[in-house]
């Protein structure tokens, strides 16, 4: 039995804050504690109370830093770790010029495994303990992804993309091979350890009606799996989709007509939505996913978070690396704040940090396991240092409240603000000076 007692300032959310004054939505303790046993939080509370009943459990003191649940990223592309920051294109050109050529390399299991180690290192370095990932079309890439996740005991979701047209030939499967590979991956990985499989038609443009029918069959056969795809990111994408599916009422109807919408469905981007599509999202419980750095980088458009929320639609928020420009959920919240500001809506820091933790957990239906620090949940914890840079420390000298501190982290923070990361109760952050790259080889010093 492994036990650990973490001490520090503690913040955990119980529901989404209505506004900055909604103190009932969260618990904040100036001197808090988490008692962890075998990767599960046993007690949460004031340090004096928890330590009084925990016996001689070793204490790790993170004061004056802030402890909260690890960040959750609900849309990220594992095979795009080496095309992040590729210059000058909008969505369809960016896919053809950068993404598709890069993803051909993931036919190799050796390359996939190497990139998986780098990918997971980046997630942990930036405080992300759970992500929902797109792998490449190759079964190898998903096997490498889940093998690495299992080795680190991280709660991860992902799936190989289904794509049988409008891509290079060596990036295409067929309706049958895509179905067969997905079935095998579900058997091998779904529900094993902390892994969850996601049925993943990349988007309507790269799947024929026959493949969409196979995705529908997979969804019916495995209703406990999540579904992820892309929706209405770019106006040219929408126009092309309507040409390929002329019978569809709109873009979303392609997925809806194949029975792919439900509470486990994640729809990346969802920017340029028609009224009927918004109605369908509200009726089915499917979740748009806001990808602010990607939307700005590709010039895609502004996500209408306030309008969707008013209809009772709950959205995720995500990095979308590699069109997204940072692995950091702090920087994702930064750019999300600015996009909402452009539309006359301010994202309060308490609402922002709820979104990146418990909010995303609720979108995934996993709030009983991750996204908060309640007893019985999995001990994925991030420790945040709001004085991690000279500029942040200078600003913090004038900070007088928790909300102000969170806003400093949101606007100025990045991987340097991540003091430590616990995955299943185990400290997991690798110091920057311990890891370097020599060509295609990662060297841990």
> Per-residue pLDDT for 434 more than 60?
no
pLDDT recorded at residue 438: 52
Averaged pLDDT, 18-29: 95
**Confidence category of residue 435, pLDDT binned at 50, 70, 90:** low
Identify the band that residue 432 occupies on the pLDDT scale cut at 50, 70 and 90: low
pLDDT in tens, 270-299: 999 999 999 999 999 999 999 999 999 999
Kindly report, residue by residue over 367-381, the tens digit of the pLDDT.
Answer: 999 999 999 999 999
pLDDT for the residue numbered 93: 85
433 has a pLDDT exceeding 60: no
Per-residue pLDDT at 299: 94
Query: pLDDT tens, 54-98?
Result: 989 999 999 999 999 999 999 999 999 999 998 877 877 878 888
Q: Name the band, by pLDDT with cuts 50, 70 and 90, for residue 412.
A: very high
pTM for the complete prediction? 0.96
pLDDT, tens digit (0-9, with 9 covering 90-100), for 203-241: 999 999 999 999 999 999 999 999 999 999 999 999 999
Yes or no: say if 44 and 60 are a contact pair by the CB < 8 Å rule.
no
pLDDT at residue 445 greater than cutoff 70 = no
pLDDT-derived band at 444, boundaries 50, 70, 90: very low
The larger pLDDT score, comparing residue 75 to residue 437, is at 75
Percent of the chain past pLDDT 70, that is, above it, reads 97
- pLDDT attached to residue 388: 98
What pLDDT, on a 0 to 100 scale, did the predictor assign at position 179?
A: 98
The pLDDT tens digits of the residues spanning 285-334 come to 999 999 999 999 999 999 999 999 999 999 999 999 999 999 999 999 99
Cα–Cα distance for residue pair 240/249, rounded to 1 Å: 14
| Average pLDDT along the chain | 95
């Amino acid at each position: 039995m492994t036990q650990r007692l973490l001490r520090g300032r503690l913040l955990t959310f119980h529901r989404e804050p209505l506004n900055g004054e909604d103190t009932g939505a969260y618990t904040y303790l100036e001197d808090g504690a988490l008692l962890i046993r075998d990767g599960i939080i046993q007690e949460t509370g004031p340090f004096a109370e928890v330590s009084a009943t925990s016996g001689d459990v070793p204490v790790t003191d993170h004061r004056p830093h802030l402890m909260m649940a690890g960040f959750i990223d609900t849309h990220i592309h594992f095979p795009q770790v080496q095309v992040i920051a590729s210059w000058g294109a909008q969505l369809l050109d960016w896919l053809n010029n950068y993404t598709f050529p890069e993803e051909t390399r993931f036919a190799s299991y050796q390359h996939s495994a190497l990139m998986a180690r780098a990918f997971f290192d980046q997630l942990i370095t930036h405080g992300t303990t759970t992500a929902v990932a797109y792998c490449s079309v190759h079964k190898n890439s998903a096997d490498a992804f889940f093998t690495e996740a299992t080795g680190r005991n991280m709660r991860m979701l992902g799936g190989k993309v289904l794509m049988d047209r409008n891509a290079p030939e060596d990036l295409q499967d067929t309706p049958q091979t895509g179905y067969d590979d997905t079935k095998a991956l579900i058997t091998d990985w779904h529900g094993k350890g902390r892994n969850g499989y996601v049925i993943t038609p990349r988007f309507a443009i790269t799947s024929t009606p026959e493949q969409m029918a196979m995705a529908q069959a997979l969804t019916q056969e495995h209703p406990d799996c999540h579904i992820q795809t892309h929706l209405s990111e770019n106006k040219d994408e929408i126009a092309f989709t309507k040409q390929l599916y002329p019978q569809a009422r709109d873009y979303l109807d392609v997925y809806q007509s194949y029975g792919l919408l439900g509470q486990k469905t994640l729809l990346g981007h969802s920017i340029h939505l028609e009224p009927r599509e918004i109605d369908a999202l509200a009726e089915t419980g499917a979740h748009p996913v806001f990808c602010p750095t990607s939307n700005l980088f590709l010039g895609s458009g502004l996500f209408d978070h306030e309008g969707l929320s008013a209809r009772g639609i709950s959205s995720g928020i995500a990095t979308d690396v590699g069109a997204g420009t940072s692995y950091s959920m702090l920087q994702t919240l930064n750019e999300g704040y600015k996009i909402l500001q452009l539309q006359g809506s301010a994202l309060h820091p308490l609402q922002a940090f709820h979104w990146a933790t418990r909010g995303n957990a609720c979108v995934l239906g996993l709030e009983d396991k991750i996204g908060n620090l309640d007893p019985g949940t999995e001990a994925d914890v991030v420790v945040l240092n709001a004085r991690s840079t000279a500029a942040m420390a200078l600003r913090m000298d004038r900070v007088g409240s928790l909300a102000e501190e969170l806003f400093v982290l949101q606007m100025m923070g990045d991987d340097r603000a991540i003091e430590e990361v616990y995955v299943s109760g185990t400290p997991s952050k690798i110091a920057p000076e311990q890891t370097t790259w020599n060509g295609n080889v990662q060297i841990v010093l």
